[in-house]
Amino acid sequence: MRVWDLHCDTLSELRYAENDGKPLSFRKNQLQIDLERLRRGDYLLQCFACFVNLGRKKENPLVSCLEQIDIFYRLLEEYSEDLVQIRTPEDIRKLPESGKIGAMLTVEEGAVCLDDLRMLRNLYRLGVRMMTLTWNYENGLASPNIVPGDAMQVWPCEPVTDRGLTEKGRAFLEEMERLHMILDVSHLSDGGIMDVLELARRPFAASHSNARSKCGHVRNLTDEMIRKMGEKGCIVGLNYCASFLDPSADRSHVRSTIHDMAVHARYLMNLGGEDLLALGSDFDGIEGDLEIAGAQDLPKLAEGLKKEGFTEREIEKIFYKNAMRFFEENL
């Protein structure tokens, strides 16, 4: 079963290792994604996010992002027989017959643009095709639902409903739509997501989010959001993180299981339609007790969903067909 994954944090992990003087090989390493794992998982495309943590106060967010983009292009050069960059619908149409794994560049943290639309346009020119407005810190564009060290440890957390997109954030939404850069609402506050639902003229994504009714974490989407996103032709990537899957009251040990992934998948598809759902692993940004522990385990997930009652057609749509169609239509 081919795989199209909307989100991973592998570039940031490669950057941390490189800046620590201990660079990792992308061909094979101890991360959740490397080239060997992608091949074993039968990947068609991986979205590689440039993740920037604003909590690292000494780092310039734009520089951090550009360093990850440099790594991305070095990977494309070093593994040119295995990887191909995806920028356009035509690239997507050619991908299945290429024999290569598609690589799409994305950003997780809109603050890398320094509130400057010129930087947004430059990132687009560099190949970025999807971006979250926030990670877990407020910035000049919008507010998130979670601030590290605060609500992160509270169960259930209270969502942020009174702060959404700023005026600058609204300008970014408009420009991203003009560029056909996909706006990603994962990590955005409830108020921000509702703003996007009201203002967006084009479909958008929640690259790595689940269903809040099935696990009460505020990183997940409410029923209203899921329904409205389905109506607007949006896409949601199923997140493999245990905190966003496991509804257990005891938060000291949560597990990421195929069963809970199936529960969320079915709920999302029932509410938003079967064209809504894709995969958004969050690999190399998650850890803990994971039944699907790396890219090599995706065949295990396909078989598990089949045992949970999903049809072959539904699994194909979740694994790659919905994402492939969404990006081909919206890039």
Average pLDDT, the chain: 96
User: pLDDT category, 304, cuts 50, 70, 90?
Assistant: very high
Residue 210, CB-side half-sphere exposure with 13 Å CA sphere: 26
- Residue 144 in contact with residue 134, Cβ under 8 Å? yes
CB 225 within 8 A of CB 232: no
**Total number of domains constituting the chain:** 1
Residue with tokens 């017959």: 97
Q: What is the 3-state secondary structure (H, E, C) of 144-208?
A: ECCCCCCHHHCCCCCCCCCCCECHHHHHHHHHHHHHCCEEECCCECHHHHHHHHHHCCCCCEECC
Q: Which CATH number does the domain housing residue 192 bear? A: 3.20.20.140
Model confidence pLDDT, tens digit, residues 199-245:
999 999 999 999 999 999 999 999 999 999 999 999 999 999 999 99
Range of the domain at 273: 3-330
- Determine the pLDDT at residue 44: 98
Q: What is the pLDDT of residues 137-165, one digit of tens each?
A: 999 999 999 866 654 455 667 899 999 99
Q: How far apart are CA 31 and CA 8, in angstroms?
A: 11
- The pTM (predicted TM-score) of the whole model is 0.97
Which tens digit of pLDDT belongs to each residue from 95-132? 999 999 999 999 999 999 999 999 999 999 999 999 99
